[in-house]
C-alpha cells in the first residue's frame, strides 16, 4: 500500500514556479529519498505535505484519503531550518511540542522519559535549551519530531550540522523506525546518506520531477554495461563489440581498465577475450553511484 | 487541550516568570506610590528645618515674615559684612539682605548662601517680599486693604452636566487628569506590549522554531496565541500595578500617619504657583473624583485596552514576521507608531473641544480611537459616540488581525529576504 500519493502538484510564488506537475508515489514502510539541488522545490513539496502551505493545483492523498487536519498528528516533520526556544527548559519544551501534536500531558511525559533514557540525556530535563550544544539541541529536535509516533516522518536535511557520532545515532534510529513500520521521507542533496539508507528515490530539479522509482531499478536503468578490470600488462587492442574507455596504470605493470560492452555480447565473452591477452586480477561491473546519477541527470537537464 | 490555549499558556507563563516582569511589577507601583507619597511626607513637616536670616536695613520688613512650611526666619542687627562672615559658622540656610529701598524700584535685595537656594525657597521669598511691598504701597496710596480684599473675587465655576438622569456636578480639572491618565496608560501599554509581540515573533523566526511549530498548528493560531498570551501578560501587569500601588500607598500613609487633608500643605511649599493656585484642595479633588462615572470609565478602559492591544498587536506581529531582526523592524514600525503618537499629540486639541468634529472623528477611527476616546470619556460623550467607536474598534481589530495574518503566514517562512512594502503587498495577495 502507498502511504502517500501526490498527483499533478503545482505551486507558484508570484511569477516563480516552485513546483511543476509533480507526481509521486511513496510506498508504506519505505525510506524515500527526496533528492535535488538547492532550490529545486524539495522544501516546497514537503511544506505542502505538512500542510504549512497549500498547493495551487493537484492533490495529495495519505493512505487514499485527501490531506486533512487529522493527518498533522500522523506526520512528524524535522525542517531544514530548525531551532528551539532558547530560554525554555528542555523537558518543558518537548512537553510543549508534544502537546501541540495532540498528545495528552501524561502520555507525552512518559514518552519523553523513554527517549531521554534511550539517548542517555535524563539529566537535561531542567537545563535551558541555550545551555545545550548544537548536537544536543539536534537530539532534542529529533525527539520532538517522532515523539507522537508518526506514521510518516519527514526529515529535511537531517544531518546538516550533525557531528559524525550523532549522525550514526540518528541513522540507527531512522532505520529502527523504518523497521517498526514508519515511512520516512528523507530530503537531502548529500548522496552518500541516500546510498546507504534509501530504498526509493525521487529526484526533483528546477521544479520538475525528473526521476522516480526504487533505488535498484534506477541503478539498473543507469547501468552502462561497463566493466572495470584490474590486470597485469597493458591491453593494447580489443575486438569489435568492446570499447576501452580508460586505461590507467596503478602500479608498475598493473592496470585498471574500464571496458564498455557495446552490443549483444555478455560479460563472459569479454572476460574470455581478456584472459587470452592479460592476467586478470579483478572483474567488476561498474554500477553508477547515486551521486553519478544525480549529477548526470541534473546536468542533463541543464543541457536541454 | 486546545492548541491556541497551549500557545497562550506558554507565551503567558514564560513571560510572567521572567525576572524583568517581576521587577517591573514591583518597581512600577513603588515609583507611582513614591510620586504620591513623597510630597505629602515632605509637607507633613518632617523635612529639614531651614532657618533664613534677614538683615533688613530698610526697616520695612522687620517682624513681618512668619515661617512658611519648614522655613523659619530670624532677624539680625549687625552689618552685612559681619553677617556674611558669620554665615559660614552658623547653621542657617542663607542670609536675606535687604538694603535701603526705593519702594517704586526695589533693587539690591540679595540672598547670600553657601549653596544655591531651591527654586521653591527663592520663589516664596520673592512672593513674601512682593506681597509686603504691595501692602505698604497700598497703605501709602490710601487704599484700605480690607476694601481691596473685598474687591478681590475668586470665582469657581460650578459645572453641572445636564443628562437624562438629571443634573450632575462636573469638574474640568478632574476630568482632564482622569482623561490624560487613562489615555496615556493605554498608549504606554500598546507600545510596551506591541513591541514585545514584535520581538516574540522575530525571536521565533530567528531561532528557527517557527517551522517546527507550524507543522502542528496553523500560522494564524500561532499568531493569535502569541498576541493573546502577551496581551494577558499586559493585563496582569496592569492589574498588579493598580493593586500594588493602592496597597503601598495605603500602607505608607498609615505608617506616617498622614491625613490626606494635610496634603493641602503641599501646595504651600510648592509655592511657585501658589499665588495663582486654584482653590481646590486635595480633599475637594477627592470629593470631585466621585463625580466621574467610574464603572463607565473602567469598563471603557478595559475595552479599549484589550481591543487597542489586539488591533495594534496584530500589526506589530505582522511586522515581526516580515523581518529578520530588530533593526530591520524599525522602518515598518514607523507607520504603526505614527497614528499612536499622533493621537497623543491630538489630546490637547481634544481637551479644548471634547465633543467637536475632530474629537468625534478621531474617536471613531480605530487607529486613534482608543487613546482619544479615553480622553473624552470623563467629559461624558454621547452614548452613541461610544457605541459607534466600540463597534468600529471591534471591526478594526478583526480587519487588522486578518490583514496581519495574511502577511504573517508568508513572512515567518522567509529568511534573509530583503523586504519592502511592495513585497509585503505581494505576500498579502498571495494565495495560501
Counted domains in chain B: 2
Say which of A81, A86, A99 has its CB closest to residue B211. A81
| Structural domain includes residue B361 | yes
| Same domain flag for B231 and B249 | yes
| Structural domain includes residue B160 | no
| Same domain flag for B74 and B184 | no
| pLDDT at residue number A155 | 92
**A2-220 architecture in CATH?**
3-Layer(aba) Sandwich (3.40)
Classify the C-alpha dihedral A129-A135-A138-A143 as positive or negative. Answer: negative
Say which of B6, B212, B217 has its CB closest to residue A79. B212
Q: How far is A268 from chain B (nearest CA, A)?
A: 55
| pLDDT at residue number B234 | 92
- The answer to whether residue B415 neighbours chain A at the CB level (below 8 Å) is yes
Q: How far is B337 from chain A (nearest CA, A)?
A: 28
Say which of B6, B211, B431 has its CB closest to residue A99. B6
| pLDDT at residue number B127 | 84
Compute the radius of gyration of chain B from its Cα atoms. Answer: 30
CA–CA dist B124, B135 (Å, integer): 16
Q: At what angle do helices B383-411 and B369-376 cross, to 10 degrees?
A: 160
Nearest 5°: the CA angle A277, A282, A286 is 105
Coil, helix or strand at residue B154: coil
| Same domain flag for B182 and B33 | yes
| pLDDT at residue number B270 | 45
The domain that holds B104 is classified in CATH as 3.40.190.10
- Domain span at residue B421? 3-40+170-429
Q: How far is CA B149 from CA B66, B206, B273, B281, in A?
A: 20, 73, 20, 21
Q: Please answer yes or no on whether A97 and B14 come within 8 Å at the CB atom.
A: no
Report the candidate in A180, A151, A158, A133 with the shortest Cα–Cα distance to residue A26. Answer: A151
Q: Which of B91, B120, B149 is the last residue of a domain?
A: B149
Report the candidate in A82, A124, A12 with the shortest Cα–Cα distance to residue B431. Answer: A12
For A84, the closest chain B residue by CA position comes to B209
| Same domain flag for B24 and B99 | no
DSSP assignments along B71-93, one per residue: EEEEEE-S-HHHHHHHHHHS--S
| Same domain flag for B110 and B198 | no
Whether the per-residue pLDDT at A5 is higher than 60: the answer is: yes
| pLDDT at residue number B47 | 52
| pLDDT at residue number A301 | 54
| Same domain flag for B96 and B179 | no
Residue B239 CB contacts under 8 Å (≥ 6 apart), including other chains: none
Report the candidate in A291, A299, A240, A220 with the shortest Cα–Cα distance to residue A35. Answer: A291
Q: Please answer yes or no on whether A83 and B426 come within 8 Å at the CB atom.
A: no
Domain with CATH 3.30.70 in chain A: 224-286
Whether the per-residue pLDDT at A130 is higher than 60: the answer is: yes
- The answer to whether residue B413 neighbours chain A at the CB level (below 8 Å) is yes
| Structural domain includes residue B161 | no
| Structural domain includes residue B162 | no
| Same domain flag for B196 and B243 | yes
* Distance from the Cα of residue B16 to its chain's centroid: 25
Q: Please answer yes or no on whether B215 and A83 come within 8 Å at the CB atom.
A: no
| Structural domain includes residue B31 | yes
CA–CA dist B121, B127 (Å, integer): 10
| pLDDT at residue number B327 | 83
Q: In chain B, which residues have their Cβ closer than 8 Å to the Cβ of A88?
A: 14
CA–CA dist B216, B222 (Å, integer): 10
pLDDT digits (tens, 9 = 90+) for A59-112: 999 998 998 888 888 999 999 888 899 889 999 999 999 999 889 999 999 999
Q: In chain B, which residues have their Cβ closer than 8 Å to the Cβ of A138?
A: none
| Structural domain includes residue B157 | no
| Structural domain includes residue B175 | yes
Say which of B1, B3, B208 has its CB closest to residue A81. B208
| Same domain flag for B126 and B17 | no
| Same domain flag for B36 and B64 | no
| pLDDT at residue number B167 | 52
| Same domain flag for B360 and B222 | yes
CA–CA dist A300, B388 (Å, integer): 66
Residue B263 CB contacts under 8 Å (≥ 6 apart), including other chains: B39, B40, B43, B281, B282, B283
Q: How far is B227 from chain A (nearest CA, A)?
A: 17
Residue A246 dihedral angles phi and psi, to the nearest 5°: -160, 150
Question: Would you list which residues of chain A are within 8 Å, Cβ to Cβ, of chain B?
Answer: 13-14, 47, 50-54, 56, 72, 75, 77-79, 81-88, 96-97, 99-102, 141, 144
- The answer to whether residue B3 neighbours chain A at the CB level (below 8 Å) is yes
Nearest 5°: the CA angle A189, A195, A200 is 85
B287: its cell numbers: 470629593
pLDDT (average), residues A112-130: 89
| pLDDT at residue number B258 | 54
| Same domain flag for B247 and B141 | no
CA–CA dist A202, B423 (Å, integer): 33
Q: In chain A, which residues have their Cβ closer than 8 Å to the Cβ of B203?
A: 85
pLDDT digits (tens, 9 = 90+) for A150-202: 999 999 988 877 778 888 888 898 899 999 889 999 898 877 778 888 889 99
Residues of chain B with pLDDT under 50: 46, 261-280
In CATH, the number for domain A224-286 is 3.30.70
Residue B356 CB contacts under 8 Å (≥ 6 apart), including other chains: none
| Same domain flag for B128 and B197 | no
Domain with CATH 3.40.50.300 in chain A: 2-220
Q: How far is A266 from chain B (nearest CA, A)?
A: 53
Q: How far is CA B66 from CA A107, A248, B70, B90, B292, in A?
A: 81, 117, 11, 21, 40
DSSP state of A279: E
Q: How far is B18 from chain A (nearest CA, A)?
A: 10
| pLDDT at residue number B378 | 85
Say which of B6, B209, B426 has its CB closest to residue A84. B209
Buried b (16+ CB within 10 A) or exposed e, B19-31: eebeeebeebbee
For B214, the closest chain A residue by CA position comes to A52
| Structural domain includes residue B159 | no
Amino acid at each position: 500500500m502507498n502511504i502517500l500519493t501526490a498527483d499533478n502538484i503545482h505551486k507558484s510564488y508570484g511569477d516563480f514556479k516552485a513546483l511543476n506537475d509533480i507526481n509521486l508515489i511513496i510506498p508504506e514502510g519505505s525510506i524515500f529519498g527526496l533528492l535535488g539541488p538547492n532550490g529545486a522545490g524539495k522544501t516546497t513539496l514537503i511544506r505542502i505535505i505538512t500542510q504549512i502551505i497549500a498547493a495551487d493545483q493537484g492533490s495529495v492523498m495519505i493512505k487514499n484519503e485527501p490531506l486533512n487536519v487529522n493527518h498533522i498528528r500522523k506526520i512528524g516533520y524535522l525542517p531544514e531550518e530548525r531551532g528551539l526556544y532558547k530560554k525554555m527548559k528542555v523537558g518543558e519544551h518537548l512537553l510543549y511540542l508534544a502537546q501541540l501534536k495532540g498528545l495528552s500531558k501524561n502520555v507525552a511525559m512518559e514518552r519523553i522519559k523513554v527517549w531521554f533514557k534511550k539517548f542517555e540525556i535524563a539529566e537535561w530535563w531542567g537545563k535551558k535549551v541555550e545551555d545545550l550544544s548544537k548536537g544536543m539541541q539536534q537530539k532534542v529536535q529529533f525527539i520532538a519530531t517522532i515523539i507522537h509516533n508518526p506514521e510518516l516522518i519527514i526529515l529535511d536535511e537531517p544531518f546538516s550540522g550533525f557531528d559524525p557520532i550523532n549522525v550514526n545515532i540518528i541513522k540507527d534510529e531512522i532505520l529502527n523506525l523504518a523497521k517498526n513500520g514508519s515511512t520516512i521521507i528523507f530530503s537531502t542533496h548529500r548522496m552518500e546518506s541516500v546510498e546507504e539508507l534509501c530504498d526509493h528515490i525521487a529526484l526533483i530539479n528546477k521544479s520538475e520531477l525528473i526521476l522516480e522509482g526504487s533505488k535498484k531499478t534506477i541503478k539498473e536503468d543507469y547501468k552502462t554495461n561497463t566493466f572495470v578490470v584490474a590486470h597485469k600488462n597493458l591491453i593494447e587492442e580489443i575486438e569489435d563489440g568492446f570499447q576501452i574507455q580508460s586505461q590507467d596504470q596503478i602500479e608498475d605493470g598493473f592496470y585498471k581498465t574500464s571496458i564498455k560492452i557495446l552490443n549483444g555480447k555478455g560479460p563472459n565473452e569479454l572476460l574470455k577475450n581478456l584472459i587470452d591477452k592479460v592476467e586478470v586480477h579483478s572483474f567488476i561491473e561498474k554500477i553508477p553511484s547515486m551521486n553519478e546519477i544525480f549529477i548526470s541527470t541534473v546536468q542533463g537537464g541543464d543541457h536541454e | 487541550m486546545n492548541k491556541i490555549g497551549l500557545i497562550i499558556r506558554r507565551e503567558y507563563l514564560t513571560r510572567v516568570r521572567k525576572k524583568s516582569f517581576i521587577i517591573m511589577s514591583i518597581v512600577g507601583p513603588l515609583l507611582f506610590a513614591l510620586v504620591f507619597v513623597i510630597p505629602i511626607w515632605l509637607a507633613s513637616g518632617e523635612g529639614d528645618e531651614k532657618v533664613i536670616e534677614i538683615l533688613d536695613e530698610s526697616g520695612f520688613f522687620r517682624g513681618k515674615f512668619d515661617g512658611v512650611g519648614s522655613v523659619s526666619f530670624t532677624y539680625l542687627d549687625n552689618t552685612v559684612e559681619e553677617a556674611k562672615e558669620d554665615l559660614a559658622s552658623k547653621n542657617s540656610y542663607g542670609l536675606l539682605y535687604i538694603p535701603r529701598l526705593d519702594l517704586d524700584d526695589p533693587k539690591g535685595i540679595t540672598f547670600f548662601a553657601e549653596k544655591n537656594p531651591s527654586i521653591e525657597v527663592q520663589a516664596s521669598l520673592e512672593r513674601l517680599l512682593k506681597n509686603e511691598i504691595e501692602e505698604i504701597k497700598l497703605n501709602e496710596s490710601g487704599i484700605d486693604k480690607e476694601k481691596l480684599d473685598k474687591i478681590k473675587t475668586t470665582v469657581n465655576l460650578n459645572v453641572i452636566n445636564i443628562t437624562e438622569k438629571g443634573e450632575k456636578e462636573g469638574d474640568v480639572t478632574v476630568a482632564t487628569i482622569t482623561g490624560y491618565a487613562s489615555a496615556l496608560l493605554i498608549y504606554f501599554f500598546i507600545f510596551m506590549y506591541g513591541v514585545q509581540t514584535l520581538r516574540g515573533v522575530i525571536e521565533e523566526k530567528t531561532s528557527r522554531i517557527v517551522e517546527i511549530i507550524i507543522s502542528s498548528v496553523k500560522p494564524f493560531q500561532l499568531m493569535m496565541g502569541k498576541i493573546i498570551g502577551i496581551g494577558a501578560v499586559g493585563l496582569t501587569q496592569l492589574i498588579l500595578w493598580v493593586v500594588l500601588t493602592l496597597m503601598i500607598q495605603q500602607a505608607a500613609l498609615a505608617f506616617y500617619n498622614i491625613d490626606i487633608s494635610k496634603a493641602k500643605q503641599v501646595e504651600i511649599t510648592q509655592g511657585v504657583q501658589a499665588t495663582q493656585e486654584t482653590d481646590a484642595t486635595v480633599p475637594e479633588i477627592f470629593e470631585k473624583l466621585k463625580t466621574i462615572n467610574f464603572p463607565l470609565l473602567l469598563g471603557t478602559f478595559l475595552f479599549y485596552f484589550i481591543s487597542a492591544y489586539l488591533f495594534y498587536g496584530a500589526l506589530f506581529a505582522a511586522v515581526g514576521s516580515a523581518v529578520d531582526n530588530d533593526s530591520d523592524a524599525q522602518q515598518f514600525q514607523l507607520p504603526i507608531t505614527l497614528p499612536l503618537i499622533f493621537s497623543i499629540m491630538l489630546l490637547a486639541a481634544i481637551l479644548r473641544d471634547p465633543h467637536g468634529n475632530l474629537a468625534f472623528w478621531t474617536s471613531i477611527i480605530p487607529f486613534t480611537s482608543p487613546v482619544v476616546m479615553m480622553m473624552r470619556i470623563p467629559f461624558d460623550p454621547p452614548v452613541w459616540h461610544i457605541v459607534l467607536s466600540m463597534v468600529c474598534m471591534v471591526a478594526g481589530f478583526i480587519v487588522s488581525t486578518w490583514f496581519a495574518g495574511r502577511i504573517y503566514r508568508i513572512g515567518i517562512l522567509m529568511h534573509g529576504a530583503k523586504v519592502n512594502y511592495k513585497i509585503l503587498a505581494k505576500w498579502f495577495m498571495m494565495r495560501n
